[in-house]
Amino acid sequence: MELDVGDKVELIIGRETDLGFNVLINDSFEGLLYENEIFEPLCRNMKKDGYIKKIREDGKYDISLKPQGFLKVIDSNCAIVLKKLESTGELHLSDKSNPDDIMQQVQLSKKAFKKALGVLYKRKKIMIESNKIVLLSKK
């Protein structure tokens, strides 16, 4: 069975390393889930869906827990921000917020958060103020 970049796969989380977690992919292949791809607590033998991020020369796979490709990622990140806004009406975050605050509130990196804000702003879904993001009412 061949795997390609972007494929959705089943993961079993293995041991933690200095770089992240070793994973077993579809019960057949070895991969690595890097620390900077992890936005939730993980533990050994946990089952998760993941995505092939890169196929390395050594035949192993780099894995992400988020879909790959700009459009898939940005739509997913926009949905995360919108869901949070729909439950609270506003987020006390901005594009200048501390990365740790962003991670704590929406489980996104600052870079991903800012890109999602840009798309939502262009789509006229949000208003960006100096210290908060406000969901615009649906008309």
State the CATH number of the domain containing residue 113. Answer: 1.10.10.10
Give yes or no: residues 54 and 110 share one domain. no
Q: Same structural domain for residues 60 and 112?
A: no
**Number of separate domains in the chain:** 2
Which ranges of the chain have pLDDT less than 70? Answer: 1, 69-72, 138-139
In which domain, by residue range, is 57 found? Answer: 8-64
Q: What is the dihedral of CA 41, 45, 51, 56, to 10 degrees?
A: 110
Predicted pLDDT of residue 75 = 84
pTM over 0.75: no
- For 74-103, the pLDDT digits (tens) are 888 899 999 999 988 889 998 789 999 998
Same-domain status, 126 and 87: yes
CB 77 within 8 Å of CB 110: no
Residues 74 and 32 in one domain: no
In terms of domains, do 54 and 94 share one?
A: no
Is residue 83 within 8 Å of residue 38, measured between CB atoms? no
Q: Is residue 3 part of a domain?
A: no
Same domain (yes/no): 45, 28? yes
Q: Tell me what pLDDT residue 94 has.
A: 85
Question: Nearest to residue 76, comparing CAs of 106, 41, 99?
Answer: 106
Tokens of 71: 């459009």
